[in-house]
Amino acid sequence: MNGTSTSTERDNLTVWDGSRKGWYEVYYLKLNVRDSGEAFWIRYTLLSPQKGCGNPVAELWAIAFDPTEPWRNLALKRTLPMAEARIERAPFAFGVGDAVLRHGSAAGTLEGRAGRLQWDLAWEPAAETFRHFPYDAMYRMALPKTKVLVPNQDVAFRGTVRWNDRVVECGGEPGQQTHIWGTKHADRWVWGHGNAFEGADATFDEFYLWLDRSPGPLGGL
């Protein structure tokens, strides 16, 4: 791919203009391993606080869940100066240090005192974006202050996740990749996701509730 050629990839393009204050942008992917029940949530993000509230930063988050041995659950986060972020448009790429998200792949490593998680994943990009808001204008107007859509709604992840000393092979595990941006974090939200229902093939269900009660712009973390 030599350029951004699909509507779903265009929906992944970073909206931040490189200088705006009071802005945040998030890309996250989530997948479930069917055989083991393990789940992974990986997030690439940027934060440009209001003037006087700190410098722009890029962050990488990762969480691993084990339903049978919850003591193994792992949560990691790394914060870097914005100079170490990578933003590309043709084709799309968003990187935090050495970790890079593309429209059809994600790779990276996070390590801390709690443990280590490394992922090298790929998927066939979705043909259509799932949009939570009913009107396109809601993605262009000032309100709502948080925008959300899913460029890769119901995709099958292939590749490997290395979780401390364990290697998890992904052979078409169900999941999604979402893009969020805006000028203010919602006060509260509810999220449900399911696309591995018994007796159903490639069924997907997702619901968000965003409550935005205060008018103040984004300040800091």
| CB burial readout 198-214, b (16+ within 10 A) else e | eeeeeebebebebebee
Question: Which residue in 25, 22, 71, 53 sits closest to 180, CA to CA?
Answer: 25
The separation between the first and the last C-alpha atoms of the chain, rounded to the nearest angstrom, is: 36
Confidence of residue 193 (pLDDT cuts 50, 70, 90): low
Question: What distance in Å separates the CA atoms of residue 89 and residue 14, rounded to the nearest whole number?
Answer: 8
Question: What distance in Å separates the CA atoms of residue 99 and residue 75, rounded to the nearest whole number?
Answer: 16
Question: What's the DSSP call for residue 55?
Answer: -
Residue bearing the bigger pLDDT, 177 or 142: 177
Kindly report the average pLDDT of the chain as a whole number. 87
The pairing of strands 85-89 and 99-102 is unpaired
Question: What distance in Å separates the CA atoms of residue 68 and residue 105, rounded to the nearest whole number?
Answer: 28
pLDDT at 184 (0 to 100): 84
The answer to whether residues 73 and 66 touch, using CB atoms and an 8 Å cutoff, is yes
- At 212, phi and psi to the nearest 5? -120, 95
Which residue in the block uniquely carries the two structure tokens 């595990």? 173
Confidence of residue 212 (pLDDT cuts 50, 70, 90): very low
